[in-house]
Amino acid sequence: MEKSIDIIGFFAPYILFGFSIVLLWKRNQYFTGYIVFYILNIVVNKIMKVIIREPRPIGGKSILSFEDGIYKGVEKYGMPSGHLQSCFYSLTYLYLVKESPTWLLLELFIASASFYQRWSYHRHTVQQLSVGSLVGIFMGWFSYFMVHKYLISQ
């Protein structure tokens, strides 16, 4: 069971991205906004990693055989966590569009699995995970605000 939670946690950003794509598909402007700002969210994460330059914890474990555990380039930095930033971006944006407590609880479970997996495998510190979560929440809110104000309300 624990290995299943770890795999869900590792793939959480992709799972939540998939949920968002499916649930926003017929809401054209929200869908387009989600995709555009998702890419921006990734860029913001990379820029923050380069600026902050906080290394990942020592002794990180690999979850899958193809994951070599050696990070290259900007990915050698752990602040903020890209996994959690992506998870909370998707979670926040989708909640603001759909306002579904059921989806929110499911997505919180998946994001929590990611938090636990990234921490227990020594890929990030609690601080790196927390900052990634907060940046993701802000980016999700900002994205929704911009799409709602400039595309939906016009």
Q: Which domain holds residue 57?
A: 2-152
Distance CA 78, CA 148 (A): 32
pTM for the full predicted model: 0.90
Number of domains in the chain: 1
Please report, in tens digits, the pLDDT of each residue of the chain (154 residues total).
768 899 999 999 999 999 999 999 988 899 999 999 999 999 999 999 999 999 999 888 887 655 555 667 777 888 999 999 999 999 999 999 998 999 999 999 999 999 999 999 989 999 999 999 999 999 999 999 999 988 776 6
